[in-house]
Amino acid sequence: MRRGPWHQFGDRSQKLAQELLQHGIGVGVIFSPRDLSFESACRYAGIYRDLGAEVLIDQQFYVPNFTNPKLESYPVSDYRLTVSDLRRLGDREAADLAGRLELVQKRLATNAIISPAVAYEAGRDDIVNLNARLFRVAKTVGDNLGIPTYSTVVLGQSTNTSATTLDAALSQATALDADGWYYAFEFSPERIPSDFGAVLRCCQAGLILACTGKPVLHAYAGPMSLLSLGFGATGVAIGHSQNLWRFMRERWGGTSDQGGGGEAPPRFFSIALWGTIIYPDEIVRLPTDLRAAVLTTTEFAGSVSSGLTWSRWDANKHFVAAICGTVDSISRNIDPRTCARLADEVLRRALNLHGQIAATGLTLRDGTNTYQYNWLQAIQRLLEESEAGYNYLSILD
């Protein structure tokens, strides 16, 4: 698994990823069949490989019977069934599913296979058994093609209510003979995860996966990708839409939400704030010195620096570029402890700047200062309580 930021696909991600890869931003792409037809995915896969990116596809069986026209264009669409129906598949159907998965992997020339899987839930042995079987099908394909097989570990909300349920789910997931982990954590619904306990458990679970000695690709990481390398992740998946900023099961439950906005003004993602601020309304209200501190630029934010009209699409490109740049910088440090401390520094500076803005009487509309303190506390607690895990990772390195 290539180390650094990956492009997590959602709605209209393919051209954005292409443009950023042309600027040397990102190490790989993760296709979303929910949002891109099989024909288009095959066409773009070659473009991305030519740009030096690795290619993966997330089959997205999280809600396995959900489908839409784009999902139906993929060879595996006949196997988008309920959990109970999937569990009843015989050996012949399993072999057919393997053949269809292999066709997809061959057409996209993927660098690894991500196993189809349902989100893990507490007390659901049927899901555990189904995921194990789907993994064996995927592993057969990976072995046939000579590529790694990553097990999908999506921890549903019911698994992360306590250390006991979380440990049980992780024990079941890591029993699989995977070459790596495609990891996501289901938070309660909010724009960006902010609950201290949930963020800490997400980091703890990621560290446990990393301590298996297999690479971890943190999926649907969004702005929280700042913490990913600090808990031992190798790759971090980042997408532009808000519905990619955390794992949202409802994306596969019939909703058409794309991260919304309509005619909403663009949001400028500030590395210094590690959050968004509305352009131009809120930025122009800042004193000159604070405005200069907030406007951390990328190659897609030139209009902002010049005070010109700025499109939401350029704001999306800037968002991904800004986060990818920070993740890439942190990823040059192999030691997860060092990565965690670098995230700590970013958060401390962000809190200081948010404090200065608050002192002017300006309240940022996005509530973009609601999570940094809890993230800082979570990464500090992880460092304090997980010395054995970090020591073990240092031996593995």
> What is the CATH classification number for the domain harbouring 225?
3.20.20.80
Domain match, 55 and 170 both: yes
Please tell me the predicted confidence (pLDDT) of residue 258: 43
> Given 227, 252, 277, which residue is the final one in a domain?
252
Q: For residues 290 and 292, what is the distance between their CA atoms, to the nearest angstrom? A: 5
The confidence score (pLDDT) of residue 141 equals: 98
Q: What is the pLDDT of residue 259?
A: 46
pLDDT > 70: percent of the chain: 97
Residue 263 reports pLDDT greater than 80:
no
CB atoms within 10 A of CB 56: 26
**CA dist 322 → 215, 298, 309 (Å):** 24, 6, 19
Contact predicate 86/59, CB 8 Å:
no
Q: Which value, to the nearest 10 degrees, does the dihedral of the CA atoms of residues 243, 247, 249, 254 take?
A: 20
pTM of the model as a whole:
0.95
Mean of pLDDT over the chain: 94
Residues 240 and 336 in one domain: no
Q: How confident is the model at residue 205 (pLDDT cuts 50, 70, 90)?
A: very high
Cα–Cα distances in angstroms (integers) from residue 101 to residues 9, 98, 116, 140, in the given order: 19, 5, 10, 10
In this structure, what token pair is assigned to residue 187? 């938070």
Q: What tokens appear for 67 in the block?
A: 């489908």
Among 87-101, 166-180, 249-263, where is mean pLDDT lowest?
249-263
Last residue of a domain, one of 197, 217, 252: 252
For 219, the domain range is 4-252
Phi, psi of 276 (to 5 degrees): -105, 155
Query: 206 and 134, same structural domain?
Result: yes
Note the pLDDT of residue 294: 95
Residue 257 has pLDDT above 50, yes or no: no
Residue 343 lies in a domain: yes
In this structure, are 225 and 356 located in the same domain?
A: no
97 with 200, same domain: the answer is yes
User: Same domain, yes or no, for 282 and 200?
Assistant: no
Question: In a 10 Å sphere around its CB, with 0-12 CB exposed, 13-18 middle and 19+ buried, how is residue 235 labelled?
Answer: buried
How many domains in the chain?
2
Mean pLDDT over 153-179 rounds to: 94
What pLDDT band is residue 260 in, cutting at 50, 70 and 90?
A: very low
| 245 and 283 belong to one structural domain | no
Q: Of 339 and 261, which is predicted with more confidence? A: 339
CA distance 325 to 121: 34
Q: 89-98, 200-209, 360-369, 375-384: lowest mean pLDDT where?
A: 360-369
**pLDDT tens string 113-157:** 999 999 999 999 999 999 999 999 999 999 999 999 999 999 999
Residues forming beta bridges with residue 237, ordered by sequence position: 6
